[in-house]
Structure formats: C-alpha cells, structure tokens
Amino acid sequence: MSVQQQAGGGTEALEVWIDQDLCTGDGICAQYAPEVFELDTDGLAYVKGADDELLQEKGATTPVPLPLVTDVIDSAKECPGECIHVRRVSDSVEVYGPDAG
C-alpha cells in the first residue's frame, strides 16, 4: 500500500516505529490508531504489519496508512514515553517524535 502525506504540495511516504526501551505502556497510541499500534502481553506497544501481526523486532517499522496519518502523528505527540518515531521513507528523516528537528 502506498503511504503518503501531503507536504508542501507534494506527497511523502511515512513510516513509524516504537522504541520499546522508552515505552511506558500507557496505550495512548493504540487508542489513537489501533490499526497501527497494539499493546502486547509484555505491556509494551508495538507497530503492526500489513497482516495485523505485531512486529516485535527492535526498530521494526510499518507504513503509515494515509487515512491514519493524523492519528499516528497525534499518537507521537501525546505519547508520555516519547517513544513513537514517524519518519519519511525517502530519506529516513524523523518528522514527528522525540528526534524530529
């Protein structure tokens, strides 16, 4: 699936990942975008793959579906653990999250 965000008249593909070392397990991300995030039995949040399977590898990324861009960005902004990273696919620059410039 093509993932895009309107930016300056163009479109950019975005992906998201969670740093479980910083995750506080509050579940805000899963409330905002349950199609993208889910809490596992360990109490930490993970991104989900296209088949709804939790991606538990360290640094695993998943595309941000266009209809959920706002929800995913809000998740990154509201996350108390500041562990959600949203970046452009084209150059891996973080656009939302703790490392965004």
Task: Indicate whether 96 belongs to any domain.
Answer: no
Is residue 10 over pLDDT 80? Answer: no
Query: Which tens digit of pLDDT belongs to each residue from 40-56?
Result: 999 999 999 989 999 99
Check if the beta carbon of residue 48 is closer than 8 Å to that of residue 37. Answer: yes
Class of residue 75 by CB neighbours under 10 A (exposed 0-12, middle 13-18, buried 19+): buried
Q: What pLDDT does 101 receive?
A: 82
- Does 16 reside within a domain? yes
Q: Rounded to the nearest 5 degrees, what angle is found at the Cα of 54, between the Cα atoms of 49 and 56?
A: 110
DSSP one-letter code for 77: H
Number of domains in the chain: 1
28 located within any domain: yes
6: in domain: yes
- When pLDDT is cut at 50, 70 and 90, the band that residue 11 belongs to is low
Q: What is the CATH number of the domain that holds 38?
A: 3.30.70
- Domain membership flag for residue 75: no
How is 23-72 classified by DSSP, letter by letter?
Answer: -----HHHHH-TTTEEE-TTS-EEEE-TTS-EE-STT--EE--GGGHHHH
Domain span at residue 56 reads 1-66
Q: How confident is the model at residue 8 (pLDDT cuts 50, 70, 90)?
A: very low
> 91 or 9, which is more confident?
91
The mean pLDDT of 14-27, rounded to a whole number, is 97
